[in-house]
Structure 1
Amino acid sequence: MLGSTVLEVAVGMSFCYATVALTVSTVQEGLASALHLRAHSLLDGIKTMLNDPEFTGLARQLYGHALVNPHDDGASGDQGALKAKPSYIEPVHFAIALVDAIQTIPGNYTQLGRDIEALPDPQVRRALLGIYQRAGGDMKQFQEGVAGWFDSAMERVSGEYKRRSLMVSVLLTLLMAIMFNIDSIHLFRTLWQHPALVAELGAAPATVDAHAMEQLFALPIGWSTFPPLLDGAFAMQVAGWVITASTALFGAPFWFATLQRVMQLRGTGAKPEEAPHEGRAQVRRSDGGA
């Protein structure tokens, strides 16, 4: 019986966290798309890489190149005038565009070296001269070296973007936990006492649809009275919200994988008897952990 209860609690908790993670991920992707966050992050990363924070030098020339920014007319005088910002740039296209922006005589490798030495920024000049010297006179190898430099810089940009996205996920999960009173402490206590509440839960939801939300609200979450009383029980409720928000640190794939494994384990044994309908209705909604 104890093992069955543990599995049912694990199913209920994992299903809740997986559904919340899926919902938050969907909202976050919508915000990122609407606000063009990836495009802005890429632009900031290139400005940092080329030491062009004012967008007046190499970064502006790159964003005027058709290979880097094909949806812009190349006539933008500043960052705000850009008609489009790419969310992704092929490293080889970046390398070709950078060479085109630097060189004064196309195809002349010797002159390219002089053009690099004439660059005003010492850090960019030093980086490109190192790649130029290692290329040994081969323009293709030089472009591959520049592409590798771009890849390394974008890995750092990607890491920073992921860290910011993780923080946004935690904040969105906390907001959702407060709005729908997804109190992990109360959820655990109720499922431990009434494990049959999760008997009808299905597999991990593939999308945020009405059926997934219906199954989520079959769990003991939600508000029974609002606003809550500011007492000791409310402090426990806040702690439950914080625990729910912290589950965003693991990411949706982790909770989906956990739910699938627990569902497989549960499938090897008998489910607990389903609670009477009246009993389910009484414990369905949270009352702040009381």
Structure 2
Amino acid sequence: MFGSSVLELAIGLTFCYGTVALIVATLQEALAAAFRLRANTLLAGIKSMLNDPRFDALAQMVYAHPLVNPHGNGLPVDERHLAARPSYIEPAQFAIALIDSIQRAPGDFARLGADIDAVSDPQVRRALHALYARAGGDLERFQALVAGWFDNAMERVSGAYKRRQLLISLLLSLLLAIMFNIDSISLFRTLWQQPQLAAHIDAVPGMLDAATLDKLWALPIGWTTFPPVLDSSFALQAAGWLITAATTLFGAPFWFDLLQRAVQLRGTGARPEETPRTLPAAPATVVPAVPLVQVRTSPALPAASET
């Protein structure tokens, strides 16, 4: 009974946390698409990399290049008039676009050093000169060095984007926990006392659909009285909301992997008791009857005659 209660408790909690994390991830993707967060983050990263915050110099020339922005009109006046904003740029294509934006005579690597001198920003000019000197007169090597410079800059941008997304995820999950009263402490207590409430969870959901939400609402979550009373128990309830919000930072794949293992463990059932194995009795060996050997004695010698 103890093992069964613990298993049902684990299944209920992991399903709840995984479903909430899946809802949060879906909302994040919708927000990212609606507000073009990836494209705007990439644009901000290139503006910072090329030191062009007003988008009127080298960053504007790069975004006008068809290798970087093939859906644009090639004439961006400012970032508000960008017809399209890419969400991803291949480093090699960025390098070619940047070199084409700098070069006055395309393909003439000998004059590229003089073209770099015409770059207005001193920091960008210094960085390009350093890469140009390391290229040793090889245009392909110079393009590879520029692509590596772009990769390093985008790694920092990606780190900042992930940290911001984690904060958004935490806020969204906290909002969901408050709206639907997903209190981890109360959920733990209820499932521990009534583990059968998680018996309907028999598989890992493949997607966020109505069936998954129905299984979530079948758990002991939601409001019974609203608004809550601001007393000592409310502090414990708020702590339960924070715990629920923190669990979404692990991501839905983490929780659903645990759920799959727990469901498989429940499906195996209890292990039957092992009985001691005894060796089978050896069959009796039938010894064939051996006929008795009759010992024939020599005939008695005649008694010696008396002389």
Query: What TM-score do the two structures reach when normalised by structure 2?
Result: 0.86
Structure 1 or 2: more helix by fraction:
1
Q: Distance in 2 between matches of 1:45 and 1:71?
A: 20
1:72/1:83 contact within 8 Å kept:
yes
Which 5+ residue runs of structure 1 have no aligned equivalent?
271-290
Q: Distance in 2 between matches of 1:267 and 1:126?
A: 65
Paired position in structure 2 for 1:63: 63
Q: Distance in 1 between matches of 2:123 and 2:265?
A: 57
Matching of residue 26 in structure 1 with residue 44 in structure 2: no
2:18/2:248 contact within 8 Å kept:
no
2:22/2:251 contact within 8 Å kept:
no
Show the 5 A alignment for 1:1-290. 1-270=1-270
Q: Distance in 2 between matches of 1:141 and 1:27?
A: 43
CA displacement, residues 22-80 of structure 1 (integer Å, 9 cap, x when unaligned) = 11101110110011000000000000000111111110001111111111111121111
How many aligned residue pairs are there? 270
2:39/2:85 contact within 8 Å kept:
yes
1:19/1:204 contact within 8 Å kept:
no
| Structure 1, 91-100 or 122-131: larger mean CA deviation | 122-131
* Cα root mean square deviation, aligned: 1.1
SS of 2:226 mapped into structure 1: coil
Q: Distance in 1 between matches of 2:73 and 2:162?
A: 31
CA displacement, residues 203-229 of structure 1 (integer Å, 9 cap, x when unaligned) = 222211110000001110011111111
User: Which one-letter code corresponds to 1:9 in the other structure?
Assistant: L
Q: Distance in 2 between matches of 1:56 and 1:97?
A: 16
Q: Distance in 2 between matches of 1:124 and 1:265?
A: 59
SS of 2:72 mapped into structure 1: coil
CA displacement, residues 240-288 of structure 1 (integer Å, 9 cap, x when unaligned) = 1011001122122211212122222222225xxxxxxxxxxxxxxxxxx
User: Which one-letter code corresponds to 1:212 in the other structure?
Assistant: T
Q: Distance in 1 between matches of 2:193 and 2:20?
A: 23
CA displacement, residues 133-186 of structure 1 (integer Å, 9 cap, x when unaligned) = 111111111111111111111111111111111110110000100111100000
1:187/1:221 contact within 8 Å kept:
yes
Q: Distance in 2 between matches of 1:266 and 1:132?
A: 63
Q: After TM superposition, give the deviation of residue 121 of structure 1 in Å.
A: 1.6
SS of 2:201 mapped into structure 1: coil
Q: Distance in 1 between matches of 2:189 and 2:158?
A: 40
SS of 1:175 mapped into structure 2: helix
Q: Which has the larger radius of gyration?
A: 2
| Structure 1, 255-264 or 32-41: larger mean CA deviation | 255-264
User: Which one-letter code corresponds to 1:205 in the other structure?
Assistant: P
Q: Distance in 2 between matches of 1:201 and 1:261?
A: 13
1:174/1:245 contact within 8 Å kept:
yes
Paired position in structure 2 for 1:287: none
Paired position in structure 2 for 1:276: none
Q: After TM superposition, give the deviation of residue 118 of structure 1 in Å.
A: 2.8
1:166/1:248 contact within 8 Å kept:
no
Query: What TM-score do the two structures reach when normalised by structure 1?
Result: 0.90
1:72/1:82 contact within 8 Å kept:
yes
Paired position in structure 2 for 1:284: none
CA displacement, residues 92-136 of structure 1 (integer Å, 9 cap, x when unaligned) = 110110001101111111210111133222221222112111111
Q: After TM superposition, give the deviation of residue 4 of structure 1 in Å.
A: 1.8
